[in-house]
Amino acid sequence: MRKLLFALLLAPAGLWAQNNTNWTDDLILTPEKSNFEKTSTYADVVSFINAIKSKSPYLQVSSMGKSPMGKDIPLLILSNPSISTPEQAKASGKMVIYIQGNIHAGEVEGKEAVMMLMRDILLGKKINFLDNLIILFAPIYNTDSNDKMAKGLRPSQENSPLETGERENSQGLDLNRDGIKMEAPETQGLIQNVITAWDPQVTVDLHTTNGTWHAYSLTWAPSYLYAGEPGTYHYSNDVMLPAITTRVKEKYGMFFGPYGDYNVREGWPLKNFYTYNHHPRYIINQFGLRNRIGILSEAFAHERFYQRIYSTYSFVNEILDYCDHHWKDIIRINAESEAAAIKNVLDNAGKVKKGVRFKMVPAEKKLNGFRTYDYTSFTKPDGSKTLVKNGNIVTYDNINYYGEFKDTVQSTLPRGYLIPASQSAIAELLMKQGVKVEKLDKEEKISGEIFLVEKLTRSPRKFEGHFMASAEGHFENATKTFAKGDYKVDLAQPLANLAFYMLEPQSDDGLLTWNFFDTYLDQNGVAAKPVEFPVFKYYAWPEPAKKKPGKK
């Protein structure tokens, strides 16, 4: 009966009905068993993984690490033939794609959709996805907070499901704000054991909005273009995601569109639609700096639970289908971006400037046929006017889409950076991010630039446990001697743009922003005088001295 109800609910779009597979009881998910009133616990997810592992030779179960409470964070490897290591994936020549759910444990649709897709790929009619792809699934990334279920934690979801987990992890950290500072074990596991180790060409992060009102079943965003190379952004934003959006409408009659929100205080009908900011603290927004494709998925909170699962399932299914057909193009685009990042350093170090602080600006192309629920104006008893949502869906044209970013502060691109051994924590964090860092094997006298911090400003309120900082000052030419054991970051490497953004003192989401240099700056009296920033920029490395020919 439950299976029949599920099929009837989803029959209009037909995506799941066409699979028409009779699952055994151990493969039926908690939402399906509860008429979509409940979501899966951590134990439910583990039980499902064990059950499907016993039925398929194409699944390997791994862990990307442990949560603060000691739970394994499952990493599921789907491949044909079966593999279990990044080295085997690389040797296969296939494209790796990584898809995660539950980074916010109240946004549970991705968790359920991932497990449903696993069934359909491993035991259903979608096994062909494994012809060209190696798929990494992480259905329950925020393991700890998933089970801290209570009513009312997601009021925008209108009690569907009745109870969900908490947004933050068990340390109280938002895992989708931890991409630079890497303070959570979950983030360290993700970046070191998935992103760096497996090098997925595409990463998909599954969310549900906090209550944004529009009339799309799901909205998406690419890894935005700011300090990275343009290739991956333009391919994902201008080619891949529009193609998938068209495909979803044609196949399932569903409307998807770019992510954002509007403010009725600006008047009605709306004129402007705004995305979120560009910072690489957000996991997806970091991939542009990594020369890889990132995709944010945001289901619409005001649909019912089963509808949100379905839209998420449909989106991921079409992403996989697109990658299955275009994987060679994706690998090529990413490789070209990586090569461009390195070439820019080799050819233009000291000659070009790159943005380090950005503002949101409207895209040249406006949104047409924008779908939203309408608003009605009415007058309150006190004579003031306000707007209230009604149930009518309307469309508007010529909407300004604030979905691009323009630099407001620039800094010269160096050949590299030198970091004193006393700042080893900085070097270690860069290495955790996958940046290549080496130690000097002898003393070196280097010419370049120092940055004098003339003013350090900290936010009066904490954000993610930090009083966010920003620096004002200027660069000066300098020649300095660095000792054996100091750290060198040569930017002629794949993660050049990520290292640049993290180390520049005026970056709006770099290590200075996250207080990594506060102790040094405070101890050196930055409140009273300019202090030299302890990261040195160099533009050329001295050629080794030629040995004089010896006497015969």
Write down the pLDDT at residue 549. Answer: 66
Domain positions in the chain are: 2-348, 359-405, 412-538
Residue 501 has pLDDT above 50, yes or no: yes
What confidence tens digit (pLDDT) does each residue in 330-388 have?
999 999 999 999 999 999 999 999 999 999 999 999 999 999 999 998 888 998 888 98
User: How far apart are the C-alpha atoms of 551 and 235, rounded to whole Å?
Assistant: 61
User: How far apart are the C-alpha atoms of 372 and 541, rounded to whole Å?
Assistant: 56
Helical (H) or strand (E) element with 32? helix 30-33
> For residue 530, which of 539, 538, 521 has the smallest C-alpha distance?
521
Q: Point out which residues pair with 396 in neighbouring strands.
A: 370
Write down the pLDDT at residue 409. Answer: 98
Within 10 Å of residue 310's Cβ, how many Cβ atoms? 26
Query: Which residues make Cβ contacts (< 8 Å) with residue 231, sequence separation at least 6?
Result: 291, 333, 334, 336, 337, 340
Report CA Rg, the chain.
Answer: 25
User: How far apart are the C-alpha atoms of 221 and 260, rounded to whole Å?
Assistant: 9
User: How far apart are the C-alpha atoms of 175 and 283, rounded to whole Å?
Assistant: 9
pLDDT-derived band at 550 (thresholds 50, 70, 90) equals: low
Write down the pLDDT at residue 10. Answer: 47
Dihedral sign, Cα of residue 315, residue 320, residue 325, residue 331: positive
Write down the pLDDT at residue 542. Answer: 86
Residue 155 has pLDDT above 50, yes or no: yes
> For residue 317, which of 11, 6, 18, 9 has the smallest C-alpha distance?
18
Write down the pLDDT at residue 146. Answer: 98
Average pLDDT across the chain, whole number: 94
Query: Quick one: what percent of the chain has pLDDT higher than 70?
Result: 95
Cα atoms in the 13 Å half-sphere on the side-chain side of 421: 11
What confidence tens digit (pLDDT) does each residue in 133-151 have?
999 999 999 999 999 999 9
What confidence tens digit (pLDDT) does each residue in 62-112 have?
999 999 999 999 999 999 999 999 999 999 999 999 999 999 999 999 999
Write down the pLDDT at residue 543. Answer: 80
Whether residue 269 has a cis bond before it, omega within 30° of 0: yes
Query: Quick one: what percent of the chain has pLDDT higher than 90?
Result: 90
Whether residue 57 has a cis bond before it, omega within 30° of 0: no
Q: What is the pTM of this model?
A: 0.94
Region 14-39: mean pLDDT is 82
2-348 is classed CATH 3.40.50.2300 = no
User: How far apart are the C-alpha atoms of 78 and 137, rounded to whole Å?
Assistant: 8
Residue type, 463: F
What confidence tens digit (pLDDT) does each residue in 6-21 have?
444 444 444 444 555 7
Lowest mean pLDDT among 5-9, 217-221, 415-419, 541-545: 5-9
User: How far apart are the C-alpha atoms of 98 and 198, rounded to whole Å?
Assistant: 9
Region 171-194: mean pLDDT is 98
User: How far apart are the C-alpha atoms of 349 and 500, rounded to whole Å?
Assistant: 12
Q: What is the DSSP string of 407-434?
A: EEEEEEPPSEEEE-GGGHHHHHHHHHTT
Q: Point out which residues pair with 208 in neighbouring strands.
A: 299
User: How far apart are the C-alpha atoms of 429 and 154, rounded to whole Å?
Assistant: 34
Region 47-72: mean pLDDT is 98
Write down the pLDDT at residue 531. Answer: 98
3-state secondary structure of 280: coil
Region 458-462: mean pLDDT is 97
User: How far apart are the C-alpha atoms of 54 and 74, rounded to whole Å?
Assistant: 16
Region 524-530: mean pLDDT is 97
Strands (E), 275-384: 293-299, 353-361, 370-379
Write down the pLDDT at residue 60. Answer: 98
